[in-house]
Amino acid sequence: MKTTNRALQQWLAYCADLMKPDEVVWIDGTEAQLEQLRAEGMSTGEMIKLNQELLPGCYYHHSHPNDVARVEGRTYICCEQQEDAGPTNNWMSPEEARTRVLPLFEGCMAGRRMYVIPYSMGPVGSPLSKIGVEVTDSIYVVLSMAIMTRVGDRVLEVLGENGEFVKGLHSKAQLSEEDRYILHFPQSKEIWSVNSGYGGNALLGKKCFSLRIASTIGREEGWMAEHMLILGVEYPNGEVRYVAAAFPSACGKTNLAMLVPPEGYRQKGFKVWCVGDDIAWIRPGEDGRLYAMNPENGFFGVAPGTSDKTNPNAMASTRRNTIFTNVVRNLDNNTVWWEGMDKNPPENAVDWLGNPWNGKTATVKGAQPNSRFTAPAINCPCISSEFENPKGVPLSAMVFGGRRARTAPLVFESFDWAHGVFVGSAMASETTAAAAGQIGVVRRDPMAMLPFCGYNMGDYFAHWLRMGEVPDPGKLPKIFHVNWFKQDEQGAFIWPGFGENLRVLEWILARCAGEIGAEDTPIGRLPRPEDLNLEGLSLEPEALKALLQVDEALWRQEVEGVAAFYDKFDRLPEELRRQLEALKRRLG
Ligand code: GTP
Ligand code: SPV
Ligand code: MN
């Protein structure tokens, strides 16, 4: 065996015995091995090589048509007591998991290979990083994990004889929808995923480990695992201030993390640096500030809507060594396309299902709405110099946000940490294609963690409140709420969004530094119209007014919605009820 780690040896022997692969292959992290796997993937049709002149190192993959997004209804927390999973998670007892789900793994790798992927979340060898080992029968998963995480022998060296690791058991099995399960065992730090081969269901380092399992570890150890992007705003004088922001899936994290400043800002010397686009591990530093690090090594980004206009840095990130999944393949030049890339869809193409597709005459979308690119972080032109800093970056602000057509204004600031936690706990957003199910319905999604919190969400709120109990609360990041998605009567977005969002970040960061004013409202502090820099932007005064409006009637409804949501919890911290009562009183 390649490892001296007894626990790993035993577990791998168990996996092989259970799933009966023909062969066990260790992923060593070398380019030579990955290249061989790409070639093998091509021979089976799993991977398609794209135009190597235009897209060097890039490949295409179709997932199974029934397997295109996370399956929240089939995602379970398997702790001993149901109340520890809480009212917002599916729960299965470990015993039931053994009788109901374990049999699905029996012999599932017969005729296949079992790939063993040792990986590190966070820079290899950093004391703040964590190690996982995923076994899988999917070459696509191996190649994707090699982009999204740090994989290979160097991880085994750090693991050593006695190191701890999260066990990830994955098999695409039959890709059967009825028998698809994504299980998490927070106590034994195990993940079982069967009958899916896509995204957060199958790349176990991502949501399963870095959020669901890590959130439970963080609670024990006094830190936080959050569904947040991390970015730095560099000012003309060279100072960089950092922001972490939680938006639900497909609500703009990747876009904000890589934003290109508007022309006027660029001329003045503003820059934005991306530290992470999806996940943040946040720990208190010795100086009393909170530090955020990105445990991932790549971007698993939403393709549709990504263009040189909306997100040129994401586009640049995908020009080499990238895997594209479920987008359109242009047969004329063997490149890719998706809705929103440009106004020039290919005519001679195949859609995400592999059917002939002509973009000029098509009546159906060519790219699946949750089609994605898997791109190395180092490709990103605005990747932060702190990307590999294991300590992370000190946060000035934390931001929550969602898709709200009406209720939420463009931005508001919470009154203090506890109120900020309340604002996060009360977050709501319209559902998107990132998860299977209905799209566009408003649901409560606290801290954008509804699908990702590995334990009772009431305890999670308490943990957030506890993180604010520090000797000097003035050193904590201030907490804000944003909404890029407010609509006018015709259903059009009022705020231009994307790069222009820097105008809102500038106000947020100025607030954190005590450099600018605000107006108190019942829901929090809002910029006065003159506080936002709108130079170079043609926004009607009426539109600005609508963006900054707090409609008290709608907010009274919101209070009812939050109250109904809170009623689900039997472990809701008293403080949050007090916050809700206080909001109600302020609204009159
Ligand atoms: P996950 O990877 O699922 O966690 O998604 P994400 O939060 O990173 O979302 P992403 O940045 O990929 O954006 C998802 C969709 O929202 C894309 O279609 C974007 O074009 C759109 N979007 C992002 N930012 C904005 C914005 O500021 N305004 C508007 N109107 N749309 C935006
Ligand atoms: C999300 O849904 O929030 C994602 C994509 O980032 S997935 O990896 O599928 O979870
Ligand atoms: Mn995400």
Asked if residue 346 and residue 429 are part of one domain, the reply reads: no
Segment 555-576, tens digit of pLDDT? 999 999 999 999 999 999 999 9
Asked if residue 250 and residue 213 are part of one domain, the reply reads: no
pLDDT at 395: 98
Strands 75-77 and 90-91: parallel
> Ligand 1 pocket: which residues have CB below 6 Å?
247, 249-255, 277-278, 301-302, 304-305, 310, 434, 484-485, 493, 497-498, 501
In the reported structure, the alpha carbon of residue 497 is separated from the centroid of ligand 1 by a whole-number distance in angstroms of 10
Within a domain: residue 63?
no
| Residue identifier of the C-alpha nearest atom 17 of ligand 1 | 305
The encoded tokens of residue 183 equal 């299980």
Within a domain: residue 66?
no
Choose one of 70, 71, 229, 294 to mutate for the ligand 2 pocket test, by most ligand atoms within 8 angstroms of C-beta: 70
212-225 average pLDDT score: 98
Asked if residue 455 and residue 390 are part of one domain, the reply reads: yes
Residues 304, 307, 312, 318: is their CA dihedral positive or negative?
positive
In the reported structure, the alpha carbon of residue 263 is separated from the centroid of ligand 3 by a whole-number distance in angstroms of 29
For 20: left if phi > 0, alpha if psi spans -120 to 50, otherwise beta; the answer is left
Q: What does each C-alpha distance from 14 to 19, 118, 170, 179, 304 come to in angstroms? A: 9, 17, 14, 22, 41
**Is the beta carbon of 206 within 6 A of some atom in ligand 2?**
yes
Q: Which of 472, 466, 427, 461 minimizes the C-alpha distance to 245?
A: 427
Provide the residue range defining the domain that includes 287. Answer: 226-296+385-586
Strand partners, 383: 274
CATH number where 334 lies: 2.170.8.10
Asked if residue 393 and residue 321 are part of one domain, the reply reads: no
Q: Which atom of ligand 2 is nearest to the CA of 198?
A: 9
35-49 average pLDDT score: 98
Asked if residue 191 and residue 322 are part of one domain, the reply reads: no
254-264 average pLDDT score: 98
Q: Which atom of ligand 2 is nearest to the CA of 302?
A: 5
The encoded tokens of residue 42 equal 């091509």
Within a domain: residue 57?
no
3-state secondary structure of 325: strand
Q: Which atom of ligand 2 is nearest to the CA of 203?
A: 8
Segment 424-473, tens digit of pLDDT? 999 999 999 999 999 988 999 999 999 999 999 999 999 999 999 999 99
Mark the residues whose beta carbon lies below 5 A from ion ligand 3.
Answer: 249, 278
Segment 88-110, tens digit of pLDDT? 999 999 999 999 999 999 999 99
| Residue identifier of the C-alpha nearest atom 28 of ligand 1 | 497
Q: Give the model's confidence band at 1: pLDDT under 50 very low, under 70 low, under 90 confident, else very high.
A: confident
Within a domain: residue 24?
yes
The total number of structural domains in the chain stands at 3
Segment 322-378, tens digit of pLDDT? 999 999 999 999 999 999 999 999 999 999 999 999 999 999 999 999 999 999 999
Q: Which residues contact 460 (CB under 8 A, 6 or more apart)?
A: 215, 219, 446, 447, 449, 453
Asked if residue 24 and residue 151 are part of one domain, the reply reads: yes
**Is the beta carbon of 508 within 6 A of some atom in ligand 2?**
no
End position of a domain, from candidates 222, 253, 281: 222
Look-up of token digits 């309340």: 422
Asked if residue 178 and residue 248 are part of one domain, the reply reads: no
Choose one of 300, 325, 449 to mutate for the ligand 2 pocket test, by most ligand atoms within 8 angstroms of C-beta: 300
pLDDT at residue 176 is higher than 80: yes
Q: Which residues contact 164 (CB under 8 A, 6 or more apart)?
A: 7, 131, 189
| Residue identifier of the C-alpha nearest atom 27 of ligand 1 | 497
In the reported structure, the alpha carbon of residue 210 is separated from the centroid of ligand 1 by a whole-number distance in angstroms of 21
pLDDT at residue 498 is higher than 90: yes
Strands 323-325 and 59-61: parallel
Asked if residue 271 and residue 133 are part of one domain, the reply reads: no
Instruction: List b or e across 18-45, with b for residues whose CB sees 16 or more CB atoms inside 10 angstroms.
Output: bbbbeebebbbbeeebbeebbeebeeee
Within a domain: residue 253?
yes
- The torsion defined by the Cα of 544, 547, 549 and 550, in degrees rounded to 10, comes to -160
| Residue identifier of the C-alpha nearest atom 9 of ligand 2 | 200
Residues annotated as catalytic (active site), given as ranges: 251
pLDDT at 173: 98
Contact assessment for residue 303 and residue 327, using Cβ atoms and an 8 Å cutoff: yes
Within a domain: residue 1?
no
Q: What 8-state DSSP symbol labels residue 529?
A: G
Choose one of 247, 251, 311, 410 to mutate for the ligand 1 pocket test, by most ligand atoms within 8 angstroms of C-beta: 251
The encoded tokens of residue 429 equal 């957003």
CATH number where 492 lies: 3.90.228.20
In the reported structure, the alpha carbon of residue 314 is separated from the centroid of ligand 3 by a whole-number distance in angstroms of 15
Asked if residue 307 and residue 289 are part of one domain, the reply reads: no
Q: What is the pTM of this model?
A: 0.98
Asked if residue 233 and residue 121 are part of one domain, the reply reads: no
Asked if residue 564 and residue 446 are part of one domain, the reply reads: yes
Ligand positioned closest to the Cα atom of 208:
2
CATH number where 107 lies: 3.40.449.10
Within a domain: residue 573?
yes
Strand partners, 58: none
98-124 average pLDDT score: 98
Q: Which atom of ligand 1 is nearest to the CA of 227?
A: 4
Q: Give the model's confidence band at 122: pLDDT under 50 very low, under 70 low, under 90 confident, else very high.
A: very high
Contact assessment for residue 62 and residue 46, using Cβ atoms and an 8 Å cutoff: no
End position of a domain, from candidates 337, 353, 379: 379
* Gap between the Cα atoms of 336 and 324, Å rounded: 8
Identify how many contiguous H helices and E strands the chain contains and give both numbers. 18, 31
Asked if residue 134 and residue 167 are part of one domain, the reply reads: yes
pLDDT at 51: 98
Q: Which of 543, 264, 523 minimizes the C-alpha distance to 415?
A: 523
3-state secondary structure of 502: helix
Q: What does each C-alpha distance from 103 to 98, 106, 179, 194, 566 come to in angstroms? A: 8, 5, 11, 11, 37
* Percentage of the chain exceeding pLDDT 70: 100
Q: Which atom of ligand 1 is nearest to the CA of 372?
A: 2
Contact assessment for residue 115 and residue 142, using Cβ atoms and an 8 Å cutoff: yes
* Gap between the Cα atoms of 516 and 519, Å rounded: 11
| Residue identifier of the C-alpha nearest atom 5 of ligand 2 | 200
Strand partners, 190: 167, 185
Q: What does each C-alpha distance from 190 to 167, 177, 204, 528 come to in angstroms? A: 5, 22, 10, 50
The encoded tokens of residue 281 equal 């591990």
Within a domain: residue 61?
no
* Percentage of the chain exceeding pLDDT 90: 99
End position of a domain, from candidates 379, 395, 421: 379
| Residue identifier of the C-alpha nearest atom 1 of ligand 2 | 249
